[in-house]
């Protein structure tokens, strides 16, 4: 069984606002996008039933009329596959144009029309959608990467930025001799240890013997 973990690192989903400072038609353009987004949510209001999502997809979209922007929300730090199949985001992020993610998501993405519809709501004058999405991708397979995700008309494009090496982390283990009972090496790191706090020279398993 494939297991995949996506960890979102300081990520912002697609968002759009008109140029409020310079564009005299800003309010008109904003109202138009808000209407497009509402039409989109109406068109796809049944998909949470179809795919058995835990929440209606309208929960993932924010219309802020005060500040004047619309945004798709990434409301979680982490998606676990298969545990979070019922999360809309697990299907949204299944898109992988060019097949670069390097990890399966256990189910297929939305169809092309869905991504295209959404792209058109958030695209700017350069035909790009503004996002900042960085994801740690790992699972029960070799290799873990930090990847960036961009949103284009045909779906999501993943790019490996950096290999994550969990064995070579910042945890430095310091040795403190050996337990006087069981002979286990006593060690400590920045946030963990096996040394007894109450009995000097013993590991915590042997402290009360
Ligand atoms: Zn011991």
Same domain flag for 113 and 194:
no
The neighbourhood of ligand 1, an ion, using CB within 5 A, equals 179, 181-182, 184, 203, 206
Mean pLDDT within 194-207:
93
Number of domains in the chain: 2
pLDDT at 97: 97
Range 3-37 burial, b when 16+ CB lie within 10 A, else e: ebbbbbeebebbbbbbeeeeeeeeeeebeebbebb
> Which pLDDT tens digit goes with each residue over 55-103?
999 999 999 999 999 999 999 999 999 999 999 999 999 999 999 999 9
* Ligand 1 centroid – CA 169 distance (Å): 26
Same domain flag for 96 and 177:
no
Rounded to whole angstroms, how far apart are CA atoms 23 and 27? 9
168, pLDDT greater than 60 = no
Same domain flag for 44 and 117:
yes
* Ligand 1 centroid – CA 195 distance (Å): 8
* Ligand 1 centroid – CA 191 distance (Å): 20
Provide the residue range defining the domain that includes 56: 4-167
Taking alpha carbons only, the member of 122, 123, 147, 119 closest to residue 133 is: 147
* Ligand 1 centroid – CA 179 distance (Å): 5
Same domain flag for 124 and 140:
yes
The 8-class DSSP code of residue 129 comes to B
**Is the model more confident about 49 or about 172?**
49
pLDDT at 106: 85
Same domain flag for 21 and 109:
yes
Give Cα 157 to chain centroid, integer Å: 14
145, pLDDT greater than 90 = yes
* Ligand 1 centroid – CA 196 distance (Å): 9
Same domain flag for 141 and 209:
no
> Which pLDDT tens digit goes with each residue over 103-113?
989 889 999 99
Tell me how far CA of residue 91 lies from CA of 49, 82, 84, 165, 192, in angstroms: 14, 11, 10, 27, 37
Same domain flag for 38 and 109:
yes
Same domain flag for 203 and 178:
yes
Same domain flag for 184 and 161:
no
**pTM, entire model:** 0.77
Same domain flag for 73 and 174:
no
Same domain flag for 190 and 99:
no
- Residue 163 phi/psi, 5-degree rounding, is -80, 135
Percent of the chain past pLDDT 70, that is, above it, reads 97
Q: What is the mean pLDDT of the chain?
A: 92
Same domain flag for 154 and 177:
no
């Amino acid at each position: 069984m494939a297991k995949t973990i996506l960890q979102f690192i300081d990520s912002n989903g697609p968002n759009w606002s008109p140029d409020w400072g310079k564009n005299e038609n800003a309010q008109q353009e904003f109202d138009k996008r808000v209407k497009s987004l509402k039409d989109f949510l109406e068109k796809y209001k049944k998909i949470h039933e179809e795919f058995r999502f835990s929440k209606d997809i309208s929960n993932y979209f924010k219309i802020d009329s005060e500040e004047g922007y619309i945004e798709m929300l990434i409301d979680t730090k982490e998606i676990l596959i298969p545990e979070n199949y019922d999360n809309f985001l697990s299907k949204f992020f299944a898109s992988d144009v060019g097949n670069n993610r390097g990890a399966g998501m256990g189910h297929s993405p939305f169809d092309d029309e869905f991504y295209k519809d959404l792209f058109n709501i958030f695209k700017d004058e350069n035909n790009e959608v503004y996002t900042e999405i960085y994801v740690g991708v790992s699972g029960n397979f070799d290799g873990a990467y930090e990847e960036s995700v961009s949103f284009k008309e045909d779906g999501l494009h993943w790019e490996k930025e950096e290999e994550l090496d969990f064995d070579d982390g910042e945890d430095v283990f310091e040795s403190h001799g050996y337990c006087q009972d069981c002979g286990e090496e006593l060690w400590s790191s920045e946030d963990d240890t096996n040394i007894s706090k109450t009995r000097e020279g013993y590991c915590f398993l042997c402290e009360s013997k």
